[in-house]
């Protein structure tokens, strides 16, 4: 599990619903994304949280190398 050094990184968190809106994707697709290897998220109880900065880095890295992130 990745450690977060700065508290300001935790100030800007997205939720499951935020991801659905951001990617304009179904709940099933977002669930697959959250469970994919290397996706920057963490869970507290049953809720997932995604740091905005880490998501931006992940999207940047994956948009250069893959066009089919979810579609397998």
In angstroms, rounded to a whole number, what is the distance separating the alpha carbons of residues 48 and 34? 8
When pLDDT is cut at 50, 70 and 90, the band that residue 38 belongs to is very high
Q: Is 30 strand, coil or helix?
A: helix
CB 69 within 8 A of CB 36: yes
Q: Helices in 1-72 by DSSP H: which ranges?
A: 7-11, 16-23, 27-34, 52-65
Is the pLDDT higher at 31 or at 3?
Answer: 31
Task: Read off the pTM.
Answer: 0.70
In angstroms, rounded to a whole number, what is the distance separating the alpha carbons of residues 18 and 35? 16
């Amino acid at each position: 599990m990745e450690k977060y050094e700065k508290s300001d990184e935790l100030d800007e968190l997205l939720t499951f619903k935020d991801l659905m809106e951001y990617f304009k994707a179904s709940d099933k697709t977002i669930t697959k994304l959250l469970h994919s290897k290397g996706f920057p998220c963490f869970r507290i109880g049953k809720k997932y949280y995604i740091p905005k900065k880490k998501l931006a880095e992940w999207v940047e890295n994956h948009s250069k190398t893959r066009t089919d992130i979810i579609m397998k």
